[in-house]
Structure 1
């Protein structure tokens, strides 16, 4: 079982990378707040944007890809439209072929997160889908945000 992040202890300063993401009108559900499925889309955008920009990930052509094998999200406060959120990232475990990322979504100006979550990626050979070592450039970028 994975460790649960305590939102009272989580603050922006605990994370090593931030990506600002604007909410969209289409993110809102019938209750007039961001739908829970959108939080996972923000997580996915954050993690993949980081690996593309800083690790050189080419999702369409790289022979090694990261498959999401575990994810989780805890909701603490509602997000709304229109607002821009700070999606914050850190790596907390870096194995030979896997990485665990922790994520927090902050409303503008808030010190404590609206949501916390995690992603676990296992890097595999495309097509064969057997675990392989994390590519060096991606490993290097994840090491920069390792806590």
Structure 2
């Protein structure tokens, strides 16, 4: 068991070392009193709400993807989050977004959650979307405009720095 735990620690240390420069798009989020759990920390489930917010804000603004009008939709097929330091109301957060993989019908996002102005992430997580036909739910190829927008945040494997930080 100890070797499994030490392996987990080493596999997440690269995420803890992320900085703002590793993310090309940011969205600000003001925490709410209701985001806190009984221990006065932002509840774990809220982090997934944050991931969803920054990812969908980017898709709508930069990938020409309208959830209500598009023929295809992105379904979450996997998700993850590593927590490094607690956050709580009334913190203001900066949510950084990068793309770690772009396929024909799938994309893997990573989100860094920073306290406003902070240089180290309080959490790093994300999820994988598979784009499917809205009606049949069968895998469908991403639209060119969606793929182009996602490519702007794509970070090559082995590289840490986001290419585009102007968004």
TM tier relative to shorter chain? over 0.9
Rg (Cα) greater in structure: 2
1:118 alignment partner in structure 2:
126
| Partner of residue 26, structure 2 | 18
The alignment status of 1:67 with 2:75, answered yes or no, reads yes
Which secondary structure state, in structure 1, belongs to the residue aligned with residue 99 of structure 2?
Answer: strand
What SS is found at the alignment partner of 1:6?
A: helix
Cα separation, partners in 2 of 1:37 and 1:55, compared to 1, 3 Å: same
The question of whether the paired residues in 1 share the 8 Å contact of 2:100 and 2:154 is answered with: yes
Measured on the aligned residues, the alpha-carbon RMSD in Å equals 1.2
Shift of 1:61: 2.1
TM-score (norm 1): 0.94
Indicate the residue corresponding to 2:46 in structure 1. Answer: 38
CA distance in 1 between partners of 2:104 and 2:95 (Å): 26
The aligned length equals 145
| Long gaps (5+) in structure 1 | none
**TM-score calculated relative to the size of structure 2:** 0.83
Aligned to 2:88: 80
Structure 1 segments (4+ residues) deviating >6 Å: none
Deviation at 1:4, TM superposition (A): 4.2
Q: 1:145 aligns with which of 129, 138, 153?
A: 153
Runs (5+) with no aligned partner, structure 2: 1-10, 156-167
The answer to whether the Cα contact below 8 Å between 1:63 and 1:125 also exists between their aligned partners in 2 is yes
